[in-house]
Chain A
Amino acid sequence: MAMILIENLVKRFGAFAAVDGIGFAVERGTVLGFLGPNGAGKSTTMKMITGFLPPTSGRVRVCGHDVQAEPLAVKRRIGYLPEGAPTYPDMTPLAFLEFVARVRGLKGRAAIDRAVGRTDLGAVLHQPIDTLSKGYRRRVGLAQAILHDPDVLILDEPTDGLDPNQKHEVRRLIRAMAADKAIILSTHILEEVEAVCTRALIIGRGKVLAEGAPDGASWRFGDLEAPPGGLDALFRRVTLGEAV
């Protein structure tokens, strides 16, 4: 059974269709990359999967639960890192994680200790979040998303603004969790797709433009093939119609 099942999803803001008939399924063990220019509809799709925005039409099912009919059942099974990893700046990471744990009904410190260990936050647990570096703040957001060991992870630009070492660490963490979860992440960094994803969708103007997966050392999107490191040319060709 698909952990995430999206059917003909549409979101209109007035006359503008931010998401215009997107559909796909994600199985356990998959890391699905959302690629696309800014404004393509990646974040809006994620906001509908996590139950933040209601779709104009279409359906989202997570672990068999319809997000419109059973929003709480869906929200319990999803860990979500919104774009920019928003957190409460006046709290410490520990207080913030304790708050999320209480809302999620998690008892004791085990879940917090595990998430803190995985995101390596131990050194800054008692410092207010607004005094932390961007990398640490991103990790606080990640710790919040994996706190309840969810089956489904939705990560909106998880490595945006991080330095190369921090990017490497976050990708390592995602790979380590991939085996028993269904993960969707959005990114502008095409090498990230090669580094962590097992499938990818190129999204533009609210539609799925191409769907791809690794094929040996290359990536194959339908008839198009990208050799290692050649994803950016393929991306331009699909999103702008340029010749490779």
Chain B
Amino acid sequence: MTGNFVGTGAIFRRELAAYFATPVAYVFIVGFLLLAGVSTFYVGGLLERGQADLRPFFQSHPWLYVVLMPAVAMRLWAEERRAGTIELLLTLPVDLGAVVVGKFLAAWAFTAVALALTAPVWLTVNALGHPDNGVALAGYVGSLLMAGGYLAVCGALSALTRNQVVAFVLGVVACLLLTVAGSPIVLDAVAGWAPRALIDAVAGFSVLTRFAAIMDGVIDLRDVVFFASLIALALFANALVVDLRKGVG
């Protein structure tokens, strides 16, 4: 087991370094901070609403992540398949599971770095008033959990193709479906014919609903379990897809 753990650590380090080896990481981080800033201060009106809290900041996150998490995860497997390095990687003495987890953790850690760089928003609110920093912390934890769920799903989709653009588009569609599962658009479409239990099940998949509760400062164990299960399920699917499709060019 120790050998497998060493493998995960090495893969995590390589993947994280790969983000910063090209300008992609910096472009992504600047883009994320700009979009987060615009949606917080202009769309959310953080300064005008006269309340010292981070709600305008966090409420844009599900929508930002629909576009940005596929961008972080799209190269994870598609690039290995395009370059042929997948053959090198999967003939090293590591379990496939260890590789999948190492890659996912690197993408998640990179996202955490980008999220940590939004600290000036939090500092601004603290300078202007007295926000409930427990609620702010809950927002950050929830945002990171949500990002992890999206990243795991997009990582699995990245293993389906050797084309990063295809991986990105698939990721956006999947993240969008996850985000809006509980919104009236989806629920109204289901409500006409489906039994109550199915409607509740579909609504239960909504990241938006769950994240709304977390933004209020309530980290419900059920929400944590939901995101953890989503991540675990997507990583399992990821390993399965890699295994089934590795012989396909």
Q: A interface vs B, CB < 8 Å?
A: 13, 47, 50-53, 72, 75-76, 78, 80, 82-84, 86-91, 95, 99-100, 102-105, 144
Is the pair A86, B18 in contact by a Cβ cutoff of 8 Å? no
Residues of A within 8 A of B93 (CB): 72, 75-76, 103-104
Is the pair A90, B87 in contact by a Cβ cutoff of 8 Å? no
Is the pair A104, B92 in contact by a Cβ cutoff of 8 Å? yes
Q: Which are the 10 A-B pairs with shortest beta-carbon distances?
A: A102-B10, A86-B84, A75-B93, A90-B21, A82-B87, A76-B93, A50-B91, A103-B10, A86-B85, A72-B93
Which of B1-9, B140-148, B154-162, B199-207 has 4 or more CB atoms under 8 Å from chain A? B1-9
In the complex with contacts A13-B247, A52-B246, A53-B247, A88-B18 CB distance below 8 A? yes
Is the pair A105, B3 in contact by a Cβ cutoff of 8 Å? yes
Could you jot down 27 A-B contacts, CB within 8 Å? A47-B247, A51-B91, A53-B246, A53-B247, A72-B93, A72-B94, A75-B92, A82-B87, A82-B88, A82-B91, A86-B83, A86-B84, A87-B85, A88-B14, A88-B18, A99-B14, A100-B92, A102-B10, A102-B13, A103-B7, A103-B10, A103-B92, A103-B93, A103-B94, A104-B92, A105-B6, A144-B88
Is the pair A90, B18 in contact by a Cβ cutoff of 8 Å? yes
Number of A-B contacts (CB under 8 A): 69
Is the pair A90, B91 in contact by a Cβ cutoff of 8 Å? no
Q: Knowing that A53-B247, A82-B87 touch, tell me 20 more A-B residue pairs with CB under 8 angstroms.
A: A47-B247, A51-B90, A51-B91, A52-B91, A72-B3, A75-B92, A80-B88, A80-B91, A82-B91, A86-B84, A87-B88, A88-B85, A90-B22, A91-B17, A91-B21, A99-B13, A99-B14, A103-B6, A103-B93, A105-B6
Distance of A47 Cα from B90 Cα, bound (Å): 10
Q: Does B101 contact A (CB under 8 A)?
A: no
Residues of A within 8 A of B21 (CB): 90-91
Residues of A within 8 A of B246 (CB): 52-53
